[in-house]
Structure 1
Amino acid sequence: MTVSADGLPDTAAPGDPAPPPGLVVVGHFDQPPGYGINRPRGADSWLFTWTTGGRGRLRHGHTEARAGAGDLVVLAPGAAHGYGVEPGARHWRFWWAHCQARPTWRSWLRPYDAGGGMYVVTPTPDAVRGRVEAAFHRMLADARWTGTEAPPVMAPGEEPVAVAHGTAARELALCALEEVVLLTAGIARTQLPRPGVDDRVRRAQALIDADPAAAHTVRSLAAHVALSPSRFAHLFTGQLGQSPMRALREARLRHAARLLETTGLSVERVAAASGFASPYHFNRVFRERYGTPPGTYRSVGPMVGV
């Protein structure tokens, strides 16, 4: 059985098949085979789905995706979409949220663009899945906040859908959803070492990625993993195909690109916050890496792959 959104209860304006823009609506479903939603006119709001069990199938324009446990699938406004239990699956258990996405989220979702306004964020490490689900639970509770007392705590068996009506409740709920976006999509910002890489090289790369603006040197990184500078540099370069200082520069450029996308900091402050002592040097290497100067990147985005 396919359920058309036009036949759903009147939760939106007449003729509008999804919650209207401005509302924040969140829910948790566990649906049996045959469940499906079809919106031939699309929606004016974004739709976020996070699967916790079973399997779902989503369509957005001409793009399709299958979702399993730990997958975040995001549908942008403006295209026909549909979703439901994947044929052959026993059920689909998932969180969902309709809202207007914060502008900064686009840069985090961009690496997972599947085309046509669909973003498939996978894989999500097991280590953060519990925190992601906790954020959705908090979003469901925060959406009910009246602003007069502490936000309610979700109780077992409570109504699985909530609409955030007040301004404070909407913003609080969006903060929880922002945590979901950052935890899941943030992994795209880290260049993970290839399988089989020496653990000491992995730890050095993780140290660089965690704080690219720090005053790292070959000597300081080598000391962190208990190797001599020469042995460390040889091992790092041989296994990752680039020197430790080249890896550091790449991490700093990625960090700078993120700041340009998500903050209003001046180019000079972005350079300093990313570990570049010279704004002139920063402008030159940023343009070499992204094909456009930092100021232009902020307004039009990258001209080459990020």
Structure 2
Amino acid sequence: MGHHVGQPDIGQKSGHLMLITPERVFYAGLLGRPRERCSGAFNVYVALRGGLWLSIVDGREACGELVAVAPNVRHTITSDHRTAICIVIEPESVSDGTFEEWTRRLSGPERDIFADRIRTAYERLRERSCRPDLTSAEFDLMCFGEVLPRRPLDPRVIRSIAQLTRFCGDPATAASCAGEAGLSVSRFLHLFKEETGISFRAFRAWKRARHLLHFANQDLNLAHLAQDIGYPDSTHFSHSIRRFYGLKPRSIFSGSRDLAILESRRPAATDSAWTQEAG
């Protein structure tokens, strides 16, 4: 899957777009109805106009032009305006403590500066004045003005992440990843959780749901797509997508017809290697 060069006009009128890289997503489009969602990544929501209201399952609330939510936290987001920005940062790509620090910074005195910088990044993407194959470091510089600290990962875990995010051929399992790493399944699962901070099962479930984003503006048979991505059946597919995004798959597709999707061609493992060397 490459950049959707065959559909240059999609999103031009609405301004709706999504840049997908292996470790980051920049989305500007419809938020959908305010239902509880639980993303597997760090989410930064920015209002294009007006304000946002964040409600977290433990009773905490926040409002403003920018709100941030840690991974795997059930929350509801509402907006004055139908369209908003959401930045997604994969937790295995940044060092421990990064999200806690950035949650503080994004809700502190710098909040308006970050909101303005992210809206400027949106204009750059809208004008296509930057290429879609940004590294994570380049993405961070564009959106935050600095590079988020990178999590050093065991090469065996980097290889297993590449397997899990390939979505072609036989689906990756704990056994297949353990075999490639030369470890027993139990030792591999322990290593994976130790290195990434996420269980193998939760990681795979989120990446599968995230992979749906690549197809969001296409007219597809959803049952076939579910099978292609690796879901055992349509019920599992629908349940998983609703849990992560707060929306049924059909609602995501119907709300994304005018969404321009810009994709990075760089594989996740290459991005990891590149930025680890650069850092």
- Measured against the shorter chain, the TM-score band is 0.3 to 0.5
Compute the TM-score of the two structures, normalised by the length of structure 2.
0.43
Structure with the larger RCO, 1 or 2 (CA within 8 Å, 6+ apart): 2
Q: Greater CA radius of gyration, 1 or 2?
A: 1
